[in-house]
Amino acid sequence: MNKVLIIIGEATETVDTLYPYYRLQEDGFEPVVAGPQKRRYHMVLHEIPPDWDGQVTREFEGYTVEADIAFRDVKPEEYLGIFFSGGRAPEYLRYDEELVRITRHFFETNKPIACVCHGVEIPAYAGCVKGRRMATVPKCKFDLEVCGGTFVNEPCVVDGNLVSGRTYHDHGHYVSVWIRMLIEARESTQSSGTV
């Protein structure tokens, strides 16, 4: 078992998506990009300019990315872990019943999960954050807390199998922790003979 899901949709944040994608490859994992349909998606670049008083996110056009698989075709038991990318995509992705199914699998089976920025909206909607400590962009604090989670304003928050960061600025702090979890999970499946 070497495959790891990266969840995306239209207006997924570029750096949130590509940083973990290439980090997974560096450590010998196979990143599998999953979206509502198997097709190409437009990514965006997000920042909150300092002269905008920290209130509004400015959005720029980013690269595009191809989804390798549609949510409906994902068999989550075939994947070692999952990454929930940020951007505007989670605002509508969270209502996808197939994605809710996938999300719940990773929380129920205690597999390595990473989440950044608006990505929290997906596990929150799926009912998976109750009692969990997480980092997210401050504007999503409400989404986390109304669903029973605890907001922690730090660059890396680890709660069991769940690792989270606030924005792409935190990638250097939390992604390596998640990668280590994936390596341990891979070694565990190899030693137990699980395929």
Cβ contacts of 10 within 8 Å, gap of 6 or more: 41, 42, 88, 89, 92
Could you tell me the CA-to-CA distances from 44 to 18, 86, 173 in Å, in that order?
11, 10, 22
Is 42 a residue of the active site? no
Of the candidates 42, 46, 105, 118, the residue annotated as catalytic is 118
State how far the Cα of 19 lies from the Cα of 1, in Å rounded to an integer.
22
Alpha carbons 194 and 177: distance in angstroms, whole number:
23
d(CA 76, CA 93): 17
Q: What is the end-to-end Cα distance of the chain in Å, rounded?
A: 5
Collapsing DSSP states into helix, strand and coil, what is residue 33?
strand
Q: Which residues pair with 157 in a beta bridge?
A: 164
Tell me the C-alpha to C-alpha distance, in Å, between residue 3 and each of 16, 124, 133, 173. 19, 24, 26, 22
The catalytic residue positions are 118
